[in-house]
Amino acid sequence: MTMQERLREIIKPNYPLHLRAPDFEGFTGSLYHGEIIRIYRALGGRLEIYPTRARGYDLSTEGFDIELDEYLHFNRYRLVTLESDIYVELPMFLQKSYKEWCTPDGIAENKCMQTGSHRRV
């Protein structure tokens, strides 16, 4: 059983699950829209409006959404996003640990590259 399946079984009895994905208006109408643009530019984005490919969350309920961090989420690009002031508002978030996991040539980034590659690295 995967981590996502296990978590679903824990949540389901108390919180009905829904399929939901963020929409573009959710980004542009967000209090964090300016910060999203800043990070997009820091990552080399040049378009006037940043593109989104937001998929459904791993788990969604009526009251909250959960996105599980998988190996593909730990890389040098995520490290750039971790510099955001948004994380100050999340006191329980392990920002220092995430930064360590995302450093170039770190164990987690190597695993990310292997997981995301079509060939073995």
* pTM of the shown model: 0.76
d(CA 43, CA 37): 10
Residue with tokens 């909250």: 64
* Average pLDDT of the residues in 80-92: 90
Please report how the helices 95-102 and 107-116 are oriented relative to each other, as an axis angle in degrees rounded to 10.
Answer: 60
Look up tokens 């989104």; give the residue: 52
Mind listing the pLDDT tens digit for each residue in 23-81? 888 888 889 999 999 999 999 999 988 888 778 888 899 888 888 888 788 899 999 99
The DSSP call for residue 53 is -
